[in-house]
Amino acid sequence: MMEFFNEYLIVLIALLISIAMAIIRVIKGPTAPDRIVGLDTINTIVIVGMVVFGTAFNEIIYIDVAIVYALLSFISTLFIAKYLEGGDF
Amino acid sequence: MWFDYLIYILLAIGVFFNILGGFGLLRFPDVYTRLHAGTKCTTFGSIFITGSVIILGLKMWYLGSTDGSILAIHTAGALVAILLTNPTGAHAIARAAHKSGVKPVGAVVDSLQTKSLKHNVNKKIIETKKMEEEK
Amino acid sequence: MIAFIITTILCFITYLILTTGSGTVGLWSIEEILLGLILSLIAGFVTRNVFIKKDLRMLNPIRWLIFVGYVVGPFFIGMAKANFDVAYRVITGKINPGIVKISPNLKTDLGITLLANSITLTPGTLSVDIDEETNDLYIHWINVKENTLKGDFVDCKYICGSFDKWIRRIAE
């Protein structure tokens, strides 16, 4: 079964390159919003990566984890944005 | 099987756009243009990659495996979550960046600036009126 | 009462989607269906005043059909164009940005949310802020055309294309 899904492992490596570029932006970013943009992009790519990982190793449970991760990371992004904006919660 | 070739093509398109998103994140000059790259490209690439997984699941379901149905339907749920949350998060970040004082680099026009200026002036007028009344 | 029923049905459908493939009754097991029914009744009772207000026009199935047609047709084409546009700008580095103001004349919250999300995902535009009183949107535009900058507002057709007409059909 593993050999059949091997193309998804190549996709995972390509997604890692994309995450590496976003991490460079998180480290370099001159202002705080720049860093959040990098983190938001990493979140989206990690969701896709979990779906691909679950498909590659035939473990369906990773896809449920991806759904929950999507919703939680969205809430954390909103919270950080609200904190930067200032004012009342 | 032509299904396999379709899956390969969708994966290639998705990977291309995801890497393009990361590249644009490095190359653009300020927060707003980086948001363009980081939101649009990754959302579009995610649609194609999850689409290929959904097609694989439907194929397995058609060949008689229950795992295929779980794969297809749960991946569609993850895709809906991405499509709902991604633009909203980008909107929140853009608004927070503008309120915390990041100017768009090389902007031709900035209508929001005048709005927030007017807002601040109105606030100051109200505050001074209150101070005078207290005196 | 009708809000309670609709919320319960939506919760039950969500539960069924998340527990696909657990047994032999269709795709679900009998325990999952019973537990999902009880949980969605509780959730529907608690949140009956939160999710649905007095406005019931989205119950019309024709609006949902138009929504599916909108997502598959003009929205997806606009999104593909947007990505090739961003790819062109990433490679060449030609940008001419600015923040402009448009007045789409939509009244409902659902309509303005759909329009803001559509604008964010389509060519060269990103919604930044909203004026709550008049429902005007502030848009970051990556390639401002100089001949559209007359007066306070930019004409809606340069930014939304045909989206505002579709959304008026869906949500107004």
Beta bridge partners of residue C137, listed in sequence order: C102, C130
User: Residue ranges of the domains in chain B?
Assistant: 2-108
Test the A interface: residue of B82, B105, B123 with most A CBs within 10 Å = B82
- Span A19-26, mean pLDDT? 91
Q: What is the DSSP string of C123-137?
A: TTEEEEEEETTTTEE
How far apart are alpha carbons C134 and B93 in whole angstroms? 22
Domain limit, last residue, from C46, C66, C82? C46
Question: Do C40 and C62 fall within a single domain?
Answer: no
Identify the pLDDT of residue C105.
77
User: Residue ranges of the domains in chain A?
Assistant: 3-85
Domain for residue C52, yes or no?
Answer: no
Domain encompassing residue C67: 57-171
Q: Where are the beta strands (DSSP E) in chain C?
A: 98-102, 125-131, 136-141
Identify the pLDDT of residue C171.
76
- Considering only alpha carbons, which residue of chain B is nearest residue A48? B46
| Chain A neighbors of B88, CB-CB under 8 A | 74, 78
Interface of A with C in 28-47 (CB under 8 A): none
Domain for residue C111, yes or no?
Answer: yes
> Measured between CA atoms, how close is B95 to chain A, in angstroms?
8
Query: Neighbouring chains of A at 3+ CB pairs within 8 Å?
Result: B, C
Distances (CA, A) of A63 to A5, A67, B50, C155: 16, 7, 11, 43
How far is C-alpha A73 from the chain's CA centre?
Answer: 9
Question: Do C69 and C100 fall within a single domain?
Answer: yes
Identify the pLDDT of residue B69.
84
Which residue is associated with the tokens 């004349």?
Answer: C105
Domain for residue C125, yes or no?
Answer: yes
pTM of the model: 0.84
Residue B106's pLDDT band (boundaries 50, 70, 90)? low
Domain count, chain C: 2
- Span B29-50, mean pLDDT? 87
Mean per-residue pLDDT of chain B: 82
**Regions in chain C scoring below 70 on pLDDT:** 54-55, 58, 150-152
Structure tokens at A76: 């954390």
Domain for residue C71, yes or no?
Answer: yes
Which of B87, B90, B107 is opposite residue C97, by nearest beta carbon?
A: B107
Domain for residue C77, yes or no?
Answer: yes
Domain for residue C80, yes or no?
Answer: yes
- Considering only alpha carbons, which residue of chain A is nearest residue B8? A7
Radius of gyration, alpha carbons of chain A: 16
Domain for residue C51, yes or no?
Answer: no
Identify the pLDDT of residue A3.
52
Which of A15, A21, A64 is opposite residue B74, by nearest beta carbon?
A: A64
Identify the pLDDT of residue A2.
47
Q: How many helices (H) and strands (E) does chain B have?
A: 5, 0
Sheet with C125-131: strands ordered across: C98-102, C136-141, C125-131
